[in-house]
């Protein structure tokens, strides 16, 4: 039995005129801001994908879904997550669990956490209790605190039986 751990980090800018999608859920920012990016800019799912890829030293999501490739424009990040999990499974690995923390001042994420966990787990072929999603503010410090962006840190543990 072998174990591997990976970590992932991502940040996207908060801008006007974009939807705010986190963990596959469309949320409402009090100022109507959303995350900028080539795909749907789901920073939570992006950090989880990088943690999964990192665990197997497979590079990062930019390698598989390059932002200059028009086919990923507006892409549903949960679909990209399914593809990353397929890469992991193809290599004979199972996901034990993932855990993530989203850093955002607003909106309040707590009411949406369980829906995010269920959506992510569903696409990964996991149970919701294998997907940890937490939220914290940045105490108004730094880019997240000034609401210039939302970031996410994630870890993933993989097992090869």
Binding site for Mg ion (CB under 5 A): 10, 46
Residues 86, 90, 91: CA angle, nearest 5 degrees: 125
What tokens does 107 get?
Answer: 């909106």
Q: Please, which residue, 65 or 93, has the CB nearer to Mg ion?
A: 65
The C-alpha atoms of residue 59 and residue 134 are separated, in whole angstroms, by 25
Q: Please, which residue, 44 or 131, has the CB nearer to Mg ion?
A: 44
The C-alpha atoms of residue 14 and residue 77 are separated, in whole angstroms, by 17
Other CB atoms within 10 Å distance of the CB of residue 36: 14
The C-alpha atoms of residue 29 and residue 41 are separated, in whole angstroms, by 15
- Minimum distance of Mg ion from residue 102's CB (angstroms): 13
**If residue 37 lies in a helix (H) or strand (E), which one and from where to where?**
none
- Minimum distance of Mg ion from residue 35's CB (angstroms): 9
What tokens does 122 get?
Answer: 């569903």
Q: Please, which residue, 10 or 144, has the CB nearer to Mg ion?
A: 10
- Minimum distance of Mg ion from residue 156's CB (angstroms): 16
Q: Please, which residue, 9 or 99, has the CB nearer to Mg ion?
A: 9
- Minimum distance of Mg ion from residue 12's CB (angstroms): 6
Nearest residue to Mg ion by CB is: 46
Q: State residue 11 phi and psi, 5-degree precision.
A: -145, 140
Q: Please, which residue, 46 or 123, has the CB nearer to Mg ion?
A: 46
- Minimum distance of Mg ion from residue 43's CB (angstroms): 6
């Amino acid at each position: 039995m072998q174990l591997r751990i990976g970590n992932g980090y991502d940040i996207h800018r908060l801008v006007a005129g974009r939807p705010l999608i986190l963990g596959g859920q469309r949320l409402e920012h009090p100022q109507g801001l959303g995350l900028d990016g080539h795909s749907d800019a789901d920073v939570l799912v992006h950090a989880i994908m990088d943690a999964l890829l990192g665990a197997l030293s497979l590079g990062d999501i930019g390698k598989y879904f390059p932002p200059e490739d028009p086919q990923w424009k507006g892409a549903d990040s949960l679909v990209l997550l399914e593809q990353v999990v397929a890469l992991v499974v193809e290599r004979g690995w199972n996901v034990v669990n993932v855990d993530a923390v989203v850093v955002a001042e607003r909106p309040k994420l707590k009411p949406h956490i369980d829906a995010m966990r269920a959506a992510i787990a569903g696409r990964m072929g996991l149970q919701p209790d294998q997907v940890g999603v937490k939220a914290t503010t940045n105490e108004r410090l730094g880019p997240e605190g000034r609401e210039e962006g939302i970031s996410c840190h994630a870890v993933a543990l993989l097992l090869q039986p």
